[in-house]
């Protein structure tokens, strides 16, 4: 529609390119354009029904394996076990739907942010219409309090300021102008003659031409990016899928091998060997794993919620534990999103605002309070953040600022404008004296100053004074502080000609005030803890380079002596190809003046390096990157609903340090899932080895019902209780395990193999020992006793092994063998359920078992103790080798 950017076009060019005029469009033209461009709405993506979401839960490979296991269990006649497995699968699916039912909230929230009405010129008259009826070319009137209904190029702007932090990341309202801007490739935040859909007009008024509606607006393009961004699979999901595929192939191979060996031996019937193969397959499948993972994650979410980290998607808990990079938005996340007075310059001295106090009778204090448009409301101060900060400085010192303002009535003013960068007010005190107070940019104010107030005395302003003031201003500016200069003069009456050229002259310089959107006090320590945990914090902001650099150094994201090579702007990033950026992404710790697409690009570059990326943010502009990241972290208080909807986790307190707490919890969750996995798989290998060797040697083998019962009582309760293990010491001193790691990393695979073999060998040893030294002379009873002892040993040895699994490498005596009360009760409960099948008459008949005497029980318990002793010896050797 236009041959050059909207911000470079004159009013005549705008009207010509958009085929409009000052009187607005006719109804016929509006109707025609609405048909061409559509409604001024964000496109709605078809949302999945609850049934579709529920069915989608069953597409996971591990869930399919479990369903097969249920079918196999049902085929053996064990309907109770089959129903239990199916119940676990269904409950898991329901929980998944419940957790992820708000996954499409980002687009819905964007639509809700749209302004409901707009005031437009139609046929030469101002009319109020629904915002979704706007079309390109409409002339829109805007004033303070309005939400911008579309992307609009201003043609008039009267002291207009717009709060657009959610879109651009700018921490304070931006001065807007109707002037033509001549620079090429201006970033979004520097297009001062444009206002964007969903932004808020904080002060002033103006008119403009609609240049984009609906999905063509900047917010619309973000909405499109959110929909186009593919959700990444978490490391947990990838690990479970790989594990499911690996286990399935292995299980089918072993079951087939056992079936073939049995048939070749010719000692078993086809039906018996088929049942044996099926029972072996059931023994090998850790059917409790998905439920245990879900429960462990759910328990983790509860603990995190108590510490202000709200999880929207369960896998996010574990993903946090593998985080390598935290890419954080600055405004409102690392900083407080409110301007604060930090430095005062008066009487030739620079003072720390937190340690200084300016009396309310001081001209500097009066200038700060009276040359100010802030309003006192029931909800606190309202107005421009820069001005509210000036009043808040005195409120924080319990000074009667409101009384001082009301006692010095404003009788006239010269409003601020972006050209002269000054504002004047005329205030009358209770004695009838009139004082003109002026504030603005130091360089502009000094042009109008002839005197200076020093130690209560007014004297001529010298060149030395000017040099000192400008040097102080420069030093403060290099620290990313926003500096305001103040002046005043006493007058007899308000001049008739209230123009800057005549009225803002011959002023007395009072002092400087330096402000900043300060860092959150707890963030610096959180950054230190992140570095200790091997996590790299990165700042991504829409703010200016100097501001971003200064804050990053104050927080420790950048070293105090770091160079500019670690900082890059969005414009500089645009000049790099994807290949160049991917190669050099590790060089940059701060990204300034960036657009939404830059954030996604940064996240993707780190992900291509195999890093797990957490992205924090609170604005609309953060939503695409929040969704693209491995884990998106939204802000609960200051965050928009868009950013929360696109996030996996929301910080209820907006506290950056809560992320570090969540990372610790995530690491603990992964470690506990690893412990449960090691416990389950080693137990299953022990069962498979026992059945395999028994079949190979032609021994009487454990029946399917016995295997299923062992699985049910020993797999479920202890494995869930392992998910409640407290975090091990120094868990936050370890390096992130990263995306390349999996559940078998850190020696777990080797542990599973040798511990599973050990369980099987000890069980077979007890079986062989019982046959060699039978209690009964009858061969049939001796075999029955041996089978019962094998059953008891296989079950009990797994329960004893649960204590070994409290730590992958550390000694259980260091961790505390009975410290986890839940595990103690789980093991006791499982043992009673196991014992009841042996000692209770009727039950032992159903399970084809015999009663054991005290000597036989002693042998079984001795086998369990032997398991603990051997594993502890191996752990000791592993720790020595690591050293």
Give catalytic residues, as residue numbers: 329
H or E segment and range at residue 283? helix 270-284
Could you tell me what percentage of the chain is helix, strand and coil, using 3-state DSSP and rounding each to the nearest 5? 55, 15, 30
The rounded Cα 667 to chain-centroid distance in angstroms is: 15
Q: How many helices (H) and strands (E) does the chain have?
A: 34, 26
Helix axes of 656-697 and 779-804: crossing angle, nearest 10 degrees: 160
Cβ–Cβ contacts within 10 Å for residue 37, how many?
A: 18
d(CA 486, CA 363): 9
> Taking CA 807 as the corner, what is the angle to CA 805 and CA 810, rounded to the nearest 5 degrees?
130
- Pick the closest to residue 809 from 709, 692, 729 (CA basis): 729
* Contact yes or no for 377/506 (Cβ under 8 A): no
For residue 520 the two structure tokens come to: 């959150």
H or E segment and range at residue 532? helix 523-532
> Where on the phi/psi map is residue 214: left (φ > 0), alpha (ψ -120 to 50), or beta?
left
* Contact yes or no for 627/635 (Cβ under 8 A): no
DSSP, collapsed to helix, strand or coil, labels residue 327 as: strand
Please, what is the end-to-end C-alpha distance for the chain in angstroms? Answer: 69
- Map 84-151 to HEC letters: HHHHHHHHHHHHHHHHHCCCCHHHHHHHHHCCCEEEEEECCEEEEEEHHHCCCCCEEEEECCCECCCE
H or E segment and range at residue 504? none
d(CA 201, CA 196): 10
Residues 6+ apart with CB under 8 A from 700: 694, 783, 786, 787
Which residue blocks in 2-78 are alpha helix, DSSP H?
A: 11-18, 27-37, 50-56, 61-75
Residue whose entry in the numeric block shows the structure tokens 């490498």: 809
* Contact yes or no for 603/615 (Cβ under 8 A): yes
d(CA 695, CA 690): 9
* Contact yes or no for 569/575 (Cβ under 8 A): no
Q: Which residues pair with 460 in a beta bridge?
A: 451
* Contact yes or no for 568/536 (Cβ under 8 A): no
* Contact yes or no for 220/214 (Cβ under 8 A): yes
Cβ–Cβ contacts within 10 Å for residue 588, how many?
A: 19
* Contact yes or no for 139/22 (Cβ under 8 A): yes
For residue 751 the two structure tokens come to: 């542990």
> Taking CA 825 as the corner, what is the angle to CA 244 and CA 670, rounded to the nearest 5 degrees?
35
d(CA 62, CA 67): 9
DSSP for 419-458, please give it: TT-EEEEEEE-TTS-EEEEEEE-HHHHHTTEEEEEETTEE
For residue 532 the two structure tokens come to: 């200790």
d(CA 597, CA 157): 29
């Amino acid at each position: 529609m236009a041959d050059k950017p909207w911000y470079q076009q004159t009013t005549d060019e705008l009207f010509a390119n958009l085929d409009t005029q000052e009187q607005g469009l006719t109804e016929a033209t509006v109707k025609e354009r609405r048909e061409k461009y559509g409604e001024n709405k964000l496109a709605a993506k078809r949302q999945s029904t609850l049934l579709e979401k529920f069915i989608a839960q069953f597409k996971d490979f591990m869930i399919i394996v479990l369903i097969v296991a249920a079918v196999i269990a049902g085929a053996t006649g064990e309907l109770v076990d089959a129903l239990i497995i199916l119940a676990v699968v269904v409950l898991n699916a329901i929980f998944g739907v419940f957790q992820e039912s708000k996954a499409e909230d980002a687009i819905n929230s964007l639509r809700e942010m749209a302004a409901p009405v707009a005031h437009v010129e139609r046929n030469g008259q101002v009319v109020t219409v629904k915002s979704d009826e706007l079309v390109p070319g409409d002339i829109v009137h805007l004033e303070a309090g309005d939400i911008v209904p579309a992307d609009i190029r201003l043609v008039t702007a009267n002291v207009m300021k717009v709060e657009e932090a959610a879109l651009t990341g700018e921490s304070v309202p931006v001065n807007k102008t109707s002037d033509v801007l001549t620079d090429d490739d201006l970033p979004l935040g520097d297009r001062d003659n444009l206002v964007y859909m969903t932004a808020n007009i904080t002060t002033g008024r103006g008119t403009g031409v609609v240049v984009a509606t609906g999905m063509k607006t900047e917010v619309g393009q973000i909405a499109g990016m959110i929909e186009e961004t593919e959700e990444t699979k978490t490391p947990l999901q990838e690990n479970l899928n790989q594990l499911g595929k690996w286990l399935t192939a292995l299980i089918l191979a072993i079951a087939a091998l056992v079936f073939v060996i049995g048939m070749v031996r010719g000692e078993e019937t086809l039906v018996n060997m088929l049942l044996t193969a099926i029972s072996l397959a059931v023994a090998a499948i850790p059917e409790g794993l998905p439920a245990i993972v879900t429960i462990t994650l759910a328990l983790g979410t509860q603990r995190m919620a108590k510490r202000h980290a709200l999880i929207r998607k369960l896998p996010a808990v574990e993903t946090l534990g593998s985080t390598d990079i935290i890419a954080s938005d600055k405004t409102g996340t690392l900083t407080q999103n409110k301007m604060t007075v930090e430095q005062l310059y008066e009487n030739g001295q620079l003072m720390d605002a937190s340690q200084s106090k300016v009396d309310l009778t001081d001209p500097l204090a009066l200038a700060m309070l009276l040359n100010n448009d802030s309003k006192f409301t029931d909800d606190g101060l309202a107005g421009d953040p820069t001005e509210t900060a000036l009043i808040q400085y005195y409120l924080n010192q319990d000074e009667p600022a409101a009384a001082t303002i009301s006692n010095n009535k404003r009788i006239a003013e010269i409003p601020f404008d972006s050209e002269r960068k000054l504002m004047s007010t005329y205030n009358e005190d209770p004695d009838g004296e009139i004082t003109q107070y002026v504030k603005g940019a130091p360089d502009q104010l000094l042009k109008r100053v002839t005197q200076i107030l020093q130690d209560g005395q007014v004297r001529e302003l010298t060149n030395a004074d000017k040099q000192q003031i400008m040097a102080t201003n420069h030093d403060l500016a290099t620290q990313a502080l926003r500096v305001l200069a103040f002046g005043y003069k006493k007058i007899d009456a308000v001049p008739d000609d209230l123009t800057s050229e005549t009225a803002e002259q011959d002023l007395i310089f009072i002092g400087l005030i330096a402000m900043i959107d300060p860092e959150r006090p707890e963030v610096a320590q959180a950054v230190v803890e992140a570095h200790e945990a091997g996590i790299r914090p990165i700042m991504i902001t829409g703010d200016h380079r100097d501001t971003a650099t200064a804050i990053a150094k104050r927080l420790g994201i950048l070293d105090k002596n770091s160079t500019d090579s670690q900082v890059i702007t969005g414009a500089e990033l645009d000049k790099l190809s994807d290949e160049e950026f991917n190669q050099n992404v590790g060089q940059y710790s701060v990204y300034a003046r960036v657009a939404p697409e830059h954030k996604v690009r940064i996240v993707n570059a780190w992900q291509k390096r195999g890093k797990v990326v957490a992205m924090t943010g609170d604005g609309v502009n953060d939503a695409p990157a929040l969704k693209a990241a491995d884990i998106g972290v939204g802000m609960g208080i200051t965050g928009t609903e868009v950013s929360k909807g696109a996030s996996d986790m929301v910080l209820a307190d907006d506290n950056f340090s809560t992320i570090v707490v969540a990372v610790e919890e995530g690491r603990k969750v992964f470690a506990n899932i690893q412990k449960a996995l090691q416990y389950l798989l080693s137990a299953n290998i022990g069962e498979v080895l026992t059945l395999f060797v028994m079949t190979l040697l032609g021994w009487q083998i454990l029946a399917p019902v016995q295997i299923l019962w062992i699985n049910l009582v020993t797999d479920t309760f202890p494995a869930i209780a392992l998910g409640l293990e407290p975090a091990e010491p120094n868990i936050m001193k370890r390096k992130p395990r990263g995306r390349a790691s999996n559940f078998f990393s850190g020696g777990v695979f080797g542990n599973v193999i040798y511990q599973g073999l050990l369980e099987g060998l000890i069980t077979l040893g007890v079986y062989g020992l019982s046959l060699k030294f039978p209690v009964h002379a009858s061969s049939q009873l001796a075999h029955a006793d041996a089978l019962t002892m094998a059953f008891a040993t296989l079950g009990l040895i797994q329960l004893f092994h649960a204590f070994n699994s409290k730590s992958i490498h550390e000694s259980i005596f260091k961790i505390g063998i009975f410290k986890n009360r839940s595990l103690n009760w789980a093991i006791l409960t499982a043992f009673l359920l196991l014992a009841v099948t042996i000692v209770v008459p009727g039950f032992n008949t159903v399970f084809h078992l015999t009663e054991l005497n005290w000597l036989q029980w002693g042998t079984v318990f001795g086998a369990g103790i032997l398991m603990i002793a051997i594993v502890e010896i191996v752990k000791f050797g592993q720790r020595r080798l690591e050293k």
